[in-house]
């Protein structure tokens, strides 16, 4: 069984929810990315979403874009990210898929390498799933077929403005879980999440048996508590990535510990 499927099956049997942190591979460097992965796993991460830096992201806000730029300016390559994943899945909670790894990657990177080649390398490295936010459902069938053949989950996104007939199509093609965008716009921390999000999640429950995980704008324990009754997991990115902006004023190891503490705070709110 794919580790993402196994994770949600286990969590559902325990009546628990998934906490999914996101961070950028190679920011500030790959050694620190590996250290951060172990830190967040120790502090409550159920699954980790690793961003593949890309020069022109479609859905990421200023914080994550800046993180991508920092990594790319150091010459980070896709092969180095696969090597990082390969290293991680040989260690600790990542070995055997207890804490699965998924990649957030632009379709431009997939297309440039060749979809089947990219997925073959992703599977060999140890990624359990990929999220391709800029791939429209009308063009996703072939990548979905190739991903299924490699036992890599193709996790797709539904937004608040997605028409319901289209959302149903996306849910039917998605595997692993359905990524539910909480707000209109790009990633980034928000003061509040829209109340109508809960209505959309309730409706999605009638359309799919896939786990529903909410991201974009989730950053506070209050957000997590609001979402907990309606979701199978929460995804937190910008609130984590923003902390790398403190490099130069704080030691890197102190920032890693600070991120671990923040992850524990949010994952504890999810477990209350």
**What's the CA gap between 69 and 81, in Å, rounded?**
15
Residues in the chain: 272
DSSP state string for 30-60: HHHHHHHHHHHHHTT-SSEEEE---SS-SS-
Helix boundaries (H) for the chain:
3-13, 30-42, 62-73, 78-88, 107-113, 115-125, 141-149, 164-173, 196-205, 221-227, 238-241, 252-271
Say which of 5, 39, 60, 232 is annotated catalytic: 60
CA dist 32 and 34 (Å) reads 5
Looking at 49, 134, 253, 258, which residue is catalytic? Answer: 49
Distance between CA atoms of residues 156 and 144, nearest Å: 10
Q: Which of the 8 DSSP states describes residue 208? A: -
Q: SS3 for 7?
A: helix
Please give the DSSP secondary-structure letter assigned to residue 190. Answer: -
SS3 197: helix
- The verdict on whether 49 is a catalytic residue reads yes
The tokens of 249 are what?
A: 């004023």
Residues assigned a catalytic role: 49, 60
């Amino acid at each position: 069984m794919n580790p993402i499927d196994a994770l949600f099956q286990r969590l559902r049997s325990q009546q628990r929810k998934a906490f999914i942190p996101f961070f950028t591979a190679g920011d500030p460097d790959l050694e620190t990315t590996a250290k951060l992965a172990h830190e967040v796993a120790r502090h409550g991460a159920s699954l980790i979403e690793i961003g593949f830096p890309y020069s022109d992201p479609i859905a990421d806000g200023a914080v994550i874009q800046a993180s991508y730029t920092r990594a790319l300016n150091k010459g980070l390559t896709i092969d180095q990210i696969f090597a990082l994943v390969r290293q991680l899945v040989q260690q600790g909670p990542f070995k055997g898929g207890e804490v699965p790894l998924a990649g957030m990657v632009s379709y431009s990177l997939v297309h440039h390498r060749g979809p089947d080649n990219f997925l073959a390398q992703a599977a060999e490295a140890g990624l359990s799933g990929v999220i391709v936010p800029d791939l429209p459902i009308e063009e996703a069938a072939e990548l979905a077929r190739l991903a299924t053949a490699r036992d890599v989950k193709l996790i797709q996104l539904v937004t608040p403005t997605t028409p319901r007939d289209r959302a149903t199509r996306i849910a039917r093609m998605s595997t692993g879980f359905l990524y539910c965008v909480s707000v209109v716009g790009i990633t980034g921390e928000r003061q509040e999440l829209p109340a109508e999000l809960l209505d959309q999640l309730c409706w999605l429950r009638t359309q799919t048996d896939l786990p529903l995980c909410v991201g974009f704008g989730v950053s506070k324990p209050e957000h997590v508590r609001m979402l907990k009754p309606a979701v199978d997991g929460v995804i937190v990115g910008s609130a984590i990535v923003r902390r790398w902006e403190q490099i130069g004023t704080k030691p890197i190891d102190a920032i890693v510990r600070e991120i671990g503490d923040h992850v524990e705070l949010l994952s504890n709110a999810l477990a209350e």
